[in-house]
Amino acid sequence: MKRMFFLISLLLAGFTGFAQIAQTKLQFATTEHDFGKFKEEAGRQTFDFMVTNTGTDPLVIQNVVASCGCTTPDWTRPPIAAGATGKVTAIYDPKDRPGQFNKTLSVYTNTKPEVTVLVIKGEVTPHEKTVEELFTFPVGGATGVRFESNHMAFTDVKKTEKKIRVMQVMNTSAAPVKIEFDGLPVHLTLKANPETLKPGQKGLIEGTYDATKNQQWGNTSDMIRMKLNGVAQENVFYYVSANLVEDFSGLSKEELANAPIFKIENTTFDLGKIKGQTPNDVEFKFTNAGKSDLVIRHVRASCGCTAVQQGIQGAPIKPGESGSIKATFSSGSYSGKVTKAIYVYSNDPQNSQVVLMLNADVEQPNVVK
């Protein structure tokens, strides 16, 4: 009996020793690579992380996951025999990514631990932009000029202020060009400085937005025609936008404490399933929970498919009084889930711009979703 126990012990020891000997190990020559400083126009940078199977079983690289889309990994796909080498390749794309970078690649293998983290780093020097990249909006063709953009955005403009914006322009033609703007609205001033640009000369488009002369509220835009050397440019427009908001900067603490409060029951209205080509009424109820008159300055919808009740605008709503914003959504040819927005502007200092959402699931006849 003792002899049998001894033999079993020897066999178990043998199996244990075999299990300890038969295993998979790996060793990377390095786990970090610094590409140093290089130019963006140099393109993709590649480095091979060499790995050796230092175990006795075949090494399998199962997957490699990069920390961002800027890095593309590749690796040795077949099993790597004991004593043999393979590689994990890191390919970094610097396009539109100037500056320093530090990225990782997580290498999954049949070892313990199963994940090895590799690091690549470096610094990308941005490429020198071309005239076409700097001045993206051409006007007048070969005899014209190029603007930085076709859109001058004033962003938020208080209804009590004038705001100034500038934009670069360049004469890319071989002759002088005089720049003028035609049909400007009363609240907007645009001029080129200098008005006439010599060949290759850069200048500025100087814009002034006078919100005191615009009766609108919220997001507004103007399409402005241009003239080059006195010739109107057909089908070419310069866009100017602004978000006109109320000026609360002069209110005292006492005035803020006694201000109106636009308290709305629900900012989302769900129509559920509705039929196409039908009008659907919605109503958002609110209360003036403040201590002074609430005034709805402006209400507008995100598209022409939603008609908003206009009678509520400008009428003072006393403290404690309630009201509602009514709209009609025309489902038209929409199909499936639809979301539209209604923008409300009021004299509530804490909540002067409110977005109301309208949801619907439109079913058109003979349309399979």
Confidence of residue 302 (pLDDT cuts 50, 70, 90): confident
Q: In a 3-state reduction of DSSP, which class is residue 119?
A: strand
Q: Which residues is 198 bridged to in the sheet?
A: none
Arithmetic mean of pLDDT, 100-125: 95
- Hey, what amino acid is at 93? D
Arithmetic mean of pLDDT, 263-278: 92
**10-24, 151-165, 171-185, 237-251 — which is least confidently predicted?**
10-24
* H-run or E-run covering 256: helix 253-257
Q: Whats the size of the chain, residue-wise? A: 369
Residue with tokens 């990308």: 124
Q: What are the structure tokens assigned to 85, written together?
A: 């080498």
Residue-level pLDDT at 73: 96
For the chain, what is the mean pLDDT? 90
Residue-level pLDDT at 2: 52
Residue-level pLDDT at 97: 93
Q: What are the structure tokens assigned to 137, written together?
A: 């909006």
Residue-level pLDDT at 365: 80
More confident residue, 15 or 136: 136
**By CB neighbour count within 10 A (0-12 exposed, 13-18 middle, 19+ buried), where does 48 fall?**
middle
Domains of the chain (ranges; CATH) run 23-125 (2.60.40.10), 131-245 (2.60.40.10), 253-363 (2.60.40.10)
Residue-level pLDDT at 7: 47
The candidate with the shortest Cα–Cα distance to 325, out of 357, 303, 350, is 357
List, for residues 207-255, the tens digit of each pLDDT value.
999 999 999 998 999 999 999 999 999 889 999 999 999 999 999 999 9
More confident residue, 3 or 267: 267
CA distance 34 to 65: 19
Q: What are the structure tokens assigned to 344, written together?
A: 């409300």
CA distance 264 to 354: 9
CA distance 276 to 333: 6
339-367 burial, b for 16+ CB within 10 Å, e for fewer? ebebbbbbbbbeebbbebebebbbebeee
Q: What is the DSSP string of 66-98?
A: ESSTTEEEEE--SPBPTT-EEEEEEEE--TT--
**Residue 261 near residue 288, CB atoms below 8 Å:** yes
Confidence of residue 16 (pLDDT cuts 50, 70, 90): very low
Q: Is the backbone peptide bond immediately before 58 cis, with ω within 30 degrees of 0?
A: no
Is it the case that residue 10 has pLDDT exceeding 50? no
Q: In a 3-state reduction of DSSP, which class is residue 46?
A: strand
Residue-level pLDDT at 20: 46
* H-run or E-run covering 12: helix 2-21
Arithmetic mean of pLDDT, 253-282: 93
Residue 315, C-beta contacts closer than 8 angstroms, at least 6 positions apart:
295, 296
Arithmetic mean of pLDDT, 49-55: 96
Arithmetic mean of pLDDT, 17-23: 50
List, for residues 349-358, the tens digit of each pLDDT value.
999 999 999 9
Confidence of residue 8 (pLDDT cuts 50, 70, 90): very low
CA distance 327 to 307: 5
**Residue 202 near residue 177, CB atoms below 8 Å:** no
Residue-level pLDDT at 241: 97
Residue-level pLDDT at 128: 87
Residue-level pLDDT at 3: 54
More confident residue, 306 or 181: 181
Backbone angles phi, psi at 44, to 5 degrees: -65, 140
Is it the case that residue 28 has pLDDT exceeding 80? yes
CA distance 262 to 353: 10
Is it the case that residue 125 has pLDDT exceeding 60? yes
Q: How would you classify the pairing of strands 151-158 and 231-245?
A: parallel
The percentage of the chain sitting over the pLDDT mark of 70, rounded to a whole number, equals: 93
Number of H helices, E strands in the chain: 3, 26
Confidence of residue 23 (pLDDT cuts 50, 70, 90): confident
Residue 334, C-beta contacts closer than 8 angstroms, at least 6 positions apart:
276, 305, 360, 362, 364
